[in-house]
Chains A and B, each alone.
Chain A
Amino acid sequence: MKRLRLGQQEIVFTVFAVLFLVFSVFLHGFLTPENMLTLLQNVAVLGILGLAMAIVVIGRGIDISLIAALAVPPGLVLQMVQNGHSLPASLLVAFLLAIAFGLVNGWLIAYAEVPSLFATLATGLLLAGLGQAALFQLDVVQWSAGMDGFERLGQGTILGIPTSIVMFAIACVVVALLLRRTRWGAYIYAIGDNPYAARVTGIPSRPIIVLQYVIAALIGCFAGLVMAASVNSMPTRIFNSTLIYDVVLVVVLGGIGLSGGRGGVLNVVIGTLLIGTMLNGMTIMDISYAGQNLIKGVVLLLAVITDSFLNPRNEETAQQGDI
């Protein structure tokens, strides 16, 4: 007889469902189609970043420099257009910068064998510093007339659905296809599950690790463009914020173990939905900032504690590198 086992994914989904139900019953104006769309719209960028982080975490790494990839290349687009360059040329430069950044990350981790946490911590600082010192005139890069039309990437609607949600959905589909339908995706899972075994079986593990970080940087850049379009500016100071913790939270909360090899796009979606529901409900209730942090902390702790009670770690399930 198979015992019903609740994994992190199911627990988080249950917490999300309970919260959603409670808000729907007790919170006037929560369960309306408009509010549901707003809820999703507010966490769309976080969700896109979660996808990038998921790819890296599944491959048993972590990318702390993701926020730099979100802030600097899109900021460069806005700055270049402000300085009179054309939009396509600026976009091209930004994408090349993101690719180069991913290559540096990947090379450091795959070939120089620097642990991903330290490598990306350093490269993130480097890229953000480069942006501040050499690329941008001001922290907040303003929209200029040359960018007109591009704001549709983050504003307005497509078939009644806010564009940023559509962008999140597209990113979900692309990443899901990559992870589940391509050979590269299978390799990423194999490397995350057991890097040594993967290498022995002939998987080109080093190039695949580089690929992970390049894809992550490109997705980060895409998320930044959506964000810039959505708020009509690029606040590059966002690198100093705690956004990266939220991204890690979405991934881990959704059930993608930091030990690698497990999870997928669905986990990111669930993690994003939980965060989105909490934020939206608390904003409607007009809870103070300190109160919001308290509630967020308690809910997340509960989810993690429940998981460790239902799925205790032992020598068999624990993996090396498990945080």
Chain B
Amino acid sequence: MTRIGSSAKVAMAALGLAAMTAPALAQQGLDEPFQKPFREALAGKTVAYVPVAMNFDLTEGWYAGLKKELEPFGVKFVIRDANWNTNAGAQAVTSLISEKPAVIVVHNPDVQTYAKLLQRAENEGIYVIQINMGSAYRSSAFVGANWIEIGEKDTEAVVKACAGKSNKIAIVQGALSAAASAYTLKGVENVLARHPEIKVVSSQAADWDAAKAKAITQTVLKQNPDLCGIVGFWDGMDIGTAAAVKEAGLTGKVFVATSGGGERKGACELVKSGAFDLNLSYDVPTQAAQMAGTIKWLLSSGAKPGSIKGSEYTTLIPITKENADSQTSCWNLSDLKK
């Protein structure tokens, strides 16, 4: 580290010398005093990324976005894929603590598992940034969606669509152990508490699985053909929910609200086709840019890891028929990877 710093200093000194000897053809440039320490703070640092799994739109999008923002500054970007295995993820974080990267960007599978480990990492001098799914430990930064807000906004839209109809709604939850699902459900409950006229005929967990979501929704629709709305917890799963609605010939009659990362094929195109009436997007490229910004800020601040803590909740983009065609509502993974 010190060697890199000193060689950079030598290089800068040489540059300075060159500038002095050059003939003053124009007005002298002014040195911006903060960019050099910034570059030095980033160069050669390691940022480790621990998603719950790769190979889906959210984690691939964050990965591509972070890489694009950080690698040009000489940051080494490493990935430890937990591949849906909580133990593997905990092991990855543990071994990272001894490898001492400058920053760990972590995507928690649940609230508890990594909490103690993340605290240890910050005590050891590693900045921890938690993304989209937080843990019980509050680290230097949280960047991600506010699930309670998502639950509330989706439910409000469904309640509004139900006005003057049967007031019967269904809820398709994710996996019971996932914090994202539990928080979203809390948001749903918050809105339902204000609307006693709404009757929840079914509230079941489909394990983030499209086939299960379809089976549950089919049965619910057969029992309640007058259902007016469904609150789904993730667009990747609610493809199944929407397929059941379509098969029952109720597209447009049953309001389907869901949420996701806003990738074009998974979000905008499905809203355009009428499968979803509302898809709240937490716009992954923006999240990635915020993470990268936070990493730059933390590294250049020199603050002691764990001494400052803050949150950046994502501004949601509601995708409906009106804006599904727009170029800016959704993003393409292939573009981000370029």
Contacts and interface: CB of A to CB of B under 8 A. Distances in A.
Interface of A: 29, 32, 34-35, 38-39, 41-42, 45, 132, 136-140, 142, 144, 155-156, 162, 227, 230-233, 235, 237-238, 240-241, 279-280, 283-284, 286, 288-290
6 contacts: A42-B215, A142-B265, A231-B240, A283-B219, A288-B204, A289-B176
Contact of A137 (B53, B211, B236, B333): B333
Closest 3 CB pairs of A and B: A42-B215, A231-B210, A289-B205
B56 A140 contact: yes
A125 B56 CA distance: 19
Secondary structure of the B side of the interface? helix
Nearest to B211: A231
Nearest to A287: B204
A38 B218 contact: yes
B209 A29 contact: no
Interface in B196-248: 201-205, 207, 209-211, 214-216, 218-220, 222-223, 236, 239-240, 242-243, 246-247
Interface string B158-172: 000000000000000
B222 A38 contact: yes
A142 to B, nearest CB: 4
Given A230-B214, A231-B211, A235-B236, A284 B219 contact: yes
Most-contacted residue by chain B among A38, A136, A156 (CB, 10 A): A38
Contacts of A41: 218
A290 B175 CA distance: 11
Contacts of B220: 283
Interface string B52-76: 0101110010000000000000000
B222 A32 contact: yes
A78 B10 CA distance: 56
B243 A136 contact: no
A290 B236 contact: no
B219 A230 contact: no
Contacts of B222: 29, 32, 34-35, 38
B266 interface: yes
Contacts of B297: none
Contacts of A32: 222
